[in-house]
Homo-oligomer: A and B are copies of this chain.
């Protein structure tokens, strides 16, 4: 059924049935001018917004509506997690062409709900409106963080280690596989990473409970770009050890098939939603000594922070070359 037939209020009624906004800290959820929430005692509030725009971030030719819903919320939860926080509540603003079917919007909301349940981030409101021809999904999330636990981009210091969770490159591979209509079979992990990125909420909470993380950022625009943010905001330079950066097997196979360098995927693959962070060497060594040998650490040391005037460089084989910033930039391309 087309949206034009069911109307805005009919749609809102259907959406409300799909969303569970009950939670002890929700005084008033969906259906009023604004949601009313109990703040957590002795916590700071984290507040972020991020959008998915049709034709830029997704293509309806291959992006399932449900995955869109998941991703629109997940990318915001990732921002909260990258600050050292826990997501609490989200609101959704949907601009939809009247040609969409009600079932499509319901699928999108099923994805939102699935993500909301996976990370315990309650959807408490939103706004649905028409758009002329393309869809835009904006989500805003608030979270909480203990005062001493805020992980900003500017806490890194000279001599600290630069670390990354997981493996990089997959999101870009997934996007290229989908864009080129290639058989997904051999690249399913990469495709899923692009369509429904997972957020390392529990992993990061464990990490910062055990290890003194001094700065953190999520990889949404690509490693090159995020390293630049940490360096600029912390007033430092950096040496990245390219060979140390973990890359998924699918990325190696795909880069080889395309005749592309793996570096390109390592440095420019955005929408990875892995975490890039810094720790003091001593803290890392002390902590490492307490870990069982067989334990998977879930992160890798990929570089070292240096003085600002040394700039940002990549160590590749025996060579050290300047990292020209080839991060994803939304207005260039």
Contact = CB atoms under 8 A, between A and B. Distances in A.
- The residue among A27, A78, A143 with the most chain B CB atoms within 10 A of its own CB is A27
A17 interface: no
A82 B331 CA distance: 37
A266 to B, nearest CB: 20
Given A140-B140, A331-B130, A93 B51 contact: yes
Interface of A: 3-4, 6-9, 11, 27-28, 31-39, 43-51, 53-57, 78-80, 82-83, 85, 89, 91-93, 95, 98, 124-134, 136, 138-143, 145, 150, 152-154, 216-218, 233, 329-332
B3 A331 contact: yes
A174 B37 CA distance: 36
A44 to B, nearest CB: 5
Contact of A150 (B36, B54, B98): B36
Contact of A27 (B39, B124, B136, B150): B150
Given A8-B330, A91-B140, A32 B153 contact: yes
Contacts of A38: 44-45
A233 B154 CA distance: 47
